[in-house]
Structure 1
Amino acid sequence: MRRSLRWTAPPAVAALSLAGLTGTALPAQALSTQAPPAQALPSQVPPATFPSALAAGARPATYDVVVERDVRVKMSDGVRLLADVYRPARGGKAVPGRFPVIVSQTPYNKAVPGANMTSAYLVERGYVQVVMDVRGTGGSPGKWQAMNPREQRDGKEIVEWASSARRPWSNGKVGLYGASYGGLNQILTAAQRPKGLRAIFPVVPMGDAYRDVVGSGGQIDLGFMPLWLGAVAGLSVLPPTYTGSDPTGALRALQDHVGNIGEFQLTMLFSALSGGDRAFDGPFYRTRSPLTVVDKVNVPAFVVGGQFDIFQRGEPMLYQRLARRVPAKFLYGPWTHLQAAGPALGRTMPGTISQPGPQLPELMLRWYDRYLRDVADPALEALPPVRYYENGSGTWPAAAQWPPARTGYQALRLAGNAAPGRPGRLTTGAASGGPDLAPWTPLSGLCTRSTSQWTAGLAGLFGTGCETDNSENDRLGLVYDIPVRKALRLAGPVSAHLNVSTAAKDGQLTVRLEDVAPGGRATQLTAGWQVLSLRKLDKKRSVTRNGLIVQPWHPYTKASARPMPKNRPVPVDVEIFPVAGVIKPGHTLRVSIQTGDFPHLVAPVPQLIDSVGAGIKVWHDARHPSWIALPVQR
């Protein structure tokens, strides 16, 4: 017998206002200017769990699975893309009848297990799944151009093909499924409002192609972009599964794919690293950014994000925009990219924090059952719109929105005199002291959480300890500390307003927010980056709360670049990606500042030449105050 998923919001959560962020003072009792008493390093937080009330049993499998390989689907320009169709079966034969359909689009080759976005879990429970190689990848002919307008149009057309009454296995109702690339193209497809689409469930989707991943803060992502482009290239030059039956077509597809590596992947990397057009934001990235079209989505959406994911920034933004217009929910966990994507596809990466129920496939099933099978599910409707993991407590608070309505912003100002190995102070009082010199250390960042995060979680598998302790890296720059004497809860985007100077024309700031335990372990909660020459601020597009810019927006265009005035302090606003955590009593809240974040980021050649050898001074006197804006939970 199927059990219902039940959850009752506690009074404090049920009473949350749906209004925007409100200003609130930082609880003075939470912070102390005195050093905390020495304590032993606390034991590791046990695996995070969802509340036990959420652990409802999913309906059981009732079918086997059969697959029809390499179905050719004709697009409006005449190109025939390749799809596999998975159908419910018994006794090795497809069950007759019409079923709701799940559509997935992958650039990672539909023939490669673990990368092909397939879900036997859903097919076994009465769904047909169509998995298509996007144009120029896997078995599909053409040249891959990474989410360009033609590929986006293909997404609309495959949904309408799958929902057509001409498909004898389709009841006309379609949902979209997939993680990462298979999550972001759900939004790009749904924004075109294809006939038959009823719901989407994007897992770790990108929001902004430039700001989320390619050019964080204005430098180029060396940790993930070559890895990703290389993976697409490598999986696209595998012989198509139809090589034996159609060797001529397979050879033609492979020729397109191999030639495209130089035309697209290598050209893109060279342009970005040499300081060409791809090093800056512009139409190329705007066209490929789901945030530019998300307001056109008109179907229910369940977004899953990771707080240490490469798309950590964009996921909550997508949810915010979706929640204004359609039924939407948001799950924001403590995952890297692969840790979040794996469970969504029925696989688990090492290091994934335990989820004793419901698993992501169960949540997906309930979501699709509700909107594709029209099965009433009051318990699903009663789930809070937002569940996020709170780092430091191991709990999953509920909220009616993101950031939670109880979030308010307060500035902590930099004070004292910091130097490498000697902390400065954070204070709720007046700025004082400085300026402090952060030396030019372009290779800083190697032993930090950034290395794991921006290799999608791969670097974290080696167990070096760098993912959970930044203390050695902190010695390569400046840190500013404030002891915490009452639990300090943070949830939302963070920003830093720094007055800085340099003898060079350019430079880069890396700003980390860290939780320092009594034993000295510095756990990075989040970070942000900003190239000095790209500091121009668009105040109209920046988010302001309580008189503070809490989410700065920079154009990052070639036209917006301006060199630094030599040795003269200027204000620079650094967008720091969202945080969700609690700083416990006896711990220390730290802001750490360095001039690099390698191997995550590397400067394009012209930018590097303009930065070589020069450190950055951080000013924080009364005339040039510097501060960090924190999202504090009331």
Structure 2
Amino acid sequence: MFGPGWSLSPRAYRVVRERISIPVSGGVDLAATVFRPDDDGQFPVILGVHAYDGAMQSTPSMPQALQGANAQAEAGDPRFYARRGYVHVIVNARGTGGSGGTYQHYGPRDVDDVVEVIAWLARQRWSTGRVGMFGMSYFSVAAKQVAARNPEALKAVFAPYGYTDFYRDKFFHGGILARSFVTSWSSHLAGVRVEGWSRRNLGDGEFGRRLEELRADADIMAVAQLAAAIAAPDEGPNPLIVDVLLNPLDGPYWAERNPDLSAVQVPIVLGGCWGMYGLHLPGEFRAWERITAPKKLFVGPPIYVDRPVYQYAQESLRWFDHWLKDNDTGYLDEAPIQLFLPGSDGEWIEAEQWPLPQTRWQSFYLHRDGLLSEHEHWPHEGATSYEDNTFNKRGAITFTTPPLVERTTILGHATLTLHAATTDDELLVFASMWLVDADGSRSMLTRGWLRGSMRTVNRELSKPWLVHHDFTDRKPLEPDTIHELELNIAPTAIVLHPGQRLELQISSSDEDDAGTFMDLISQGHLLRQSPSWISVYHDEDHPSTLRLPVIEGNRIGTYLSGGVPARPSAGPVRSSTNEW
């Protein structure tokens, strides 16, 4: 790739592959694969760290769309970088694959190892002493953790698609356990030997007491994989699963793993796609807000990237050439934020700040008969109810706008305020936004979550467009009492065209059909086993409201009439137009 005033490192080398061991503290060796130019010179190093099958990361394979079998192939193409004058090193985390020691699930010891690996790489004969980090998902999360430590030799990071809050982004959406993700993800960790955090930090007595509480939890024990992990808490990846279950509130376990984003001084590229709203996307916007180092942010079409990862090879090379080779590729001259607009004709928005300064949050009120409208509530509109019953029906209610009459672009964070009552002492809210085409077909855009007992809002840390819950305690709901619940809807973007509509679906489960593999990732949460009826109130005294980030269009709003001019009704014949 090249431009009028710049060019990237050319493809100039053949590639040498070596399998090595890298020593770290405690007498542990980490298994690594090195791809370097077939040359005696010195080159910058690109590092990737993971906990998956090592062979998967570099096996030549024709890329395919993301699916369960190939999801862990996230390192990028090491031969691409080596051919262009870089050494690409892929390392298995401690306690996984061929690496020694025990795994801490992104714990402080795991991060210490990577800091030591970077210093080791900088000293090698084939290294210039400059190191970058690259990769998606696991690789991205690990890179952000390390960047917060600012090791001397780490000069640049290209780390899109990486959550930054283990509790909120990955395992407990809105305080609700993502039970399918924790069990499926942990099963893909290669030969993992987990050092459990809870037994070590709580002590055997408290650890055993909390395990008994889990065994008495009907919601948890209804999931066979979770029950099996609790029955054998020390086997295979089970210590990791048990750690997640024993830490259902935000606290020390999660704080140890979340990177201090404000400490990052390493130049970094962030990003993702609009489809990964259930895992990576919220964390990337959080990182953009808190990191003050030189940074870029992109969000692409809602399709993630193929596996093995290759789509961002050229763009990452522009970043690494600039910071690791002093080759000005013009990358820093371009807008720092670049956002794709789904539903457009391939448009991208360029911006300097987030949220976009032209954003206006438009209130859409939930009304009777499933209406979602900018019109405020009428008196005594009442409530809409649904049943959540594992023995009978897990229901849902929907609220839909009239057809839009002008092109409208929604882009950013949305929030939802619900006034709701339940016959139970707990209420799980799954709020999903759907695009409805003129023919009635639906496709999911994004989702929000909240466990009702964890509804307390931290006003000091909240913004008008982003609600902050501490998730540090539970306050059971009083049955048959109206409670106000505020929740975030994960960032989204869509260009709506005349005739299309937006739909908000409220449920206490997420068992609707997944349209894509990415929708599936956002599903599979722990559900209630206690039957209940839920009512969402929408009237003058209980204004349940969805606030949408509009950056274009909908200037005069939707029309309850449908936006179609009325035809004249039949009446007496006029003898003259003057009579009008």
- TM-score, length-scaled by structure 1: 0.72
Unaligned segments of structure 1, at least 5 residues: 7-55, 90-94, 238-259, 347-358, 446-472, 545-549
Tell me which amino acid in the other structure corresponds to 2:366.
L
Q: 1:233 Cα deviation (Å)?
A: 4.3
CA 1:267/1:113 → structure 2, altered by over 3 Å: closer, same or farther? Answer: closer
Following superposition, the deviation at residue 521 of structure 1 comes to: 1.1
1:146 is matched with: 105
Of structures 1 and 2, the one with the larger relative CO (CA 8 A, separation 6+) is: 1
State the secondary structure of the residue aligned to 1:376: coil
Q: Following the alignment from structure 1 to structure 2, what is the Cα–Cα distance between the partners of residues 443 and 221?
A: 22
Equivalent residue letter for 2:425? K
- In 2, Cα distance between equivalents of 1:555 and 1:233: 33
Matching of residue 597 in structure 1 with residue 510 in structure 2? yes
Q: Give the counterpart letter for 1:307 in structure 2.
A: W
Q: Is the 8 A contact 1:145 1:264 kept in 2?
A: no
Residue of 331, 334, 341 corresponding to 1:390 = 341
* Residue identity in the other structure for 1:617: S
Alignment partners' CA distance in 1, 2:53 and 2:193: 7
Match of 1:426 among 352, 363, 373: 373
- Residue number in structure 2 paired with 1:219: 176
Paired residues, number: 487
- Which residue of structure 1 lines up, in the alignment, with residue 307 of structure 2? 342
Instruction: Measure the CA separation in 1 of the matches of 2:86 and 2:486.
Output: 48
The corresponding residue for 1:4 is: 3
Determine if contact 2:107/2:256 at 8 Å carries over to the other structure.
Answer: yes
Which residue of structure 2 lines up, in the alignment, with residue 294 of structure 1? Answer: 261
Deviation, structure 1 residue 263: 5.1
Is the contact between residue 444 and residue 597 of structure 1 (CA under 8 Å) also seen in structure 2?
no
Counterpart-to-counterpart distance in 2, 1:306 and 1:262: 37
CA distance in 2, matches of 1:72, 1:568: 61
* Corresponding residue for residue 556 of structure 1: 471
1:613 maps to amino acid: P
Q: Distance in 2 between matches of 1:627 and 1:384?
A: 34
Q: Could you say which residue in structure 2 is the equivalent of 1:617?
A: 535
Change beyond 3 A, Cα 1:603–1:203: closer
1:265 maps to 237
**Structure 2 unmatched ranges of 5 or more:** 59-72, 195-231, 512-519, 553-580
Residue 73 of structure 1 aligns with an amino acid whose one-letter code is I
Letter in 2 for 1:64: R
Change (3 A) 1:441 1:516: farther
Q: Which amino acid aligns with 1:430?
A: H
CA contact (8 A) 1:306 1:312 kept: yes
SS at match of 2:21: strand
Q: Tell me how far apart the structure 1 counterparts of residues 405 and 121 of structure 2 sit (CA, whole Å).
A: 58
SS in 2 for 1:340: coil
C-alpha distance in 2 between matches for 1:103 and 1:444:
52
Checking the alignment, whether the CA contact within 8 Å between 2:297 and 2:338 is kept in structure 1 is yes
Is the contact made by 1:444 and 1:596 (CA closer than 8 Å) also made in structure 2? no
Residue 35 of structure 2 corresponds to: 86
| Cα distance in 1 between the residues matched to 2:318 and 2:192 | 32
SS in 2 for 1:397: strand
Q: TM-score, normalised by structure 2?
A: 0.79
- Match of residue 307, structure 1, among 260, 266, 274: 274
Cross-structure match for 2:567: none
Q: Deviations over 1:228-275 (max 9, x none)?
A: 1000045889xxxxxxxxxxxxxxxxxxxxxx9835732343465xxx
Aligned-pair CA distance for 1:320? 2.4
> Equivalents in 2 of 1:480, 1:506: separation in Å?
26
**Aligned match of 1:100:** 44
| Superposition map of 1:236-275 within 5 A | 262=234, 265-270=237-242, 272=244
Q: In structure 2, do the counterparts of structure 1 residues 109 and 233 end up closer, same or farther at CA, with 3 Å as the change threshold?
A: closer
Contact kept, 8 Å, 1:220 with 1:601, in 2: the verdict is no
Q: Distance in 1 between matches of 2:348 and 2:340?
A: 5
* Structure 1 Cα separation of the partners of residues 503 and 547 of structure 2: 13
Shift in Å, 1:602: 5.6
What is the CA RMSD across the aligned residues, in angstroms?
A: 2.6
Structure 2 contact 102–193 (Cα < 8 Å) conserved: no
Partner of 2:62: none
Q: CA deviation at 1:368?
A: 0.3
Alignment partners' CA distance in 2, 1:443 and 1:132? 48
CA separation of 1:628 and 1:425: change in aligned 2, threshold 3 A: closer
1:317 is the counterpart of 2:292: no
* SS of residue matched to 1:194: coil
Please name the residue that 1:278 is paired with.
247
**How many angstroms apart in 1 are the aligned matches of 2:243 and 2:44?**
44
Give the 5 Å matches for 1:64-75. 64-69=14-19, 71-75=20-24
Question: What is aligned with 2:426?
Answer: 506
CA contact (8 A) 1:180 1:341 kept: no
The residue aligned with 2:401 is 481
Partner of 1:366: 318
Partners in 2 of 1:525 and 1:602 — Cα distance?
17
1:61 aligns with 2:11: yes
In structure 2, the CA distance between the partners of 1:376 and 1:113, relative to structure 1 (3 Å rule), is closer
- C-alpha distance in 2, partners of 1:480/1:281? 34
Paired position in structure 2 for 1:230 = 187
Conservation of the 8 A alpha-carbon contact between 1:386 and 1:401: yes
The offset of 1:627, in angstroms, is 0.2
Alignment identity in percent? 28
Task: Find out whether 1:439 has 2:352 as its counterpart.
Answer: no
- Tell me if structure 1 keeps the 8 A contact 2:418–2:536: yes
Give distance in 1, aligned partners of 2:446 and 2:27.
47
Distance 1:271 1:86, change over 3 A: closer
Structure of larger gyration radius = 2
Quick one: distance in 2 between partners of 1:161 and 1:149? 18
3-state SS of 2:322 partner: helix
Letter in 1 for 2:34: V
Structure 1 distance, partners of 2:498, 2:437, is 10
2:548 corresponds to which residue?
630
Secondary structure, counterpart of 2:173 in structure 1: coil
> Matches of 2:301 and 2:153 in 1, distance apart?
34
| 2:128 is equivalent to residue 133 of structure 1 | no
Q: Measure how far apart 1:147 and its partner are.
A: 0.5
Give the Å deviation of 1:576: 0.7
SS at match of 2:170: helix
Structure 2 CA distance for aligned equivalents of residues 444 and 553 of structure 1: 34
Q: Residue 493 of structure 1 aligns with which residue?
A: 413
1:569-614 C-alpha deviation (Å, 9 max, x unpaired): 110011110011112111112211111113755665xx735xx211
Moved more, 78-87 or 360-369: 78-87
Separation of aligned partners in 1, 2:391 and 2:152: 50
Structure 1 counterpart of 2:126, from 148, 165, 169: 169
Q: State whether residues 496 and 628 of structure 1, in contact with CA within 8 Å, keep that contact through their aligned partners in structure 2.
A: yes
Of residues 191, 203, 207, the one that matches 2:164 is: 207
Change (3 A) 1:442 1:306: farther
How far apart in 2 are the matches of 1:183 and 1:437?
42
Cα separation, 1, equivalents of 2:135 and 2:175? 29
Give a deviation string over 1:260-300, Cα, whole Å, max 9, x none: 9835732343465xxx523222211222123xx11111121
Q: How far did residue 554 of structure 1 move?
A: 1.3
Is residue 464 of structure 2 the alignment partner of residue 539 of structure 1? no
Distance 2:136 2:30 in 1: 21
Distance in 2 (CA, whole Å) between partners of 1:141 and 1:444 is 50
In structure 1, C-alpha distance between the alignment counterparts of 2:374 and 2:357, rounded to whole Å: 25
Contact in 2 for aligned 1:136/1:144 (Cα 8 Å): yes
Question: Kindly tell me: are residues 228 and 431 of structure 1, through their superposed partners in 2, closer, same or farther at Cα, counting changes over 3 Å?
Answer: farther
Distance in structure 2 (CA, Å) of the matches to 1:168 and 1:267 = 40
Show the counterpart of 1:331. Answer: 298
| SS of equivalent to 2:32 | strand
Whole-Å separation in 1 of the counterparts to 2:349 and 2:74: 33
Check 1:341–1:261 CA distance in 2 against 1; reply closer, same or farther (3 A cut): farther
Could you tell me how far apart the structure 2 residues matched to 1:198 and 1:613 are?
Answer: 55
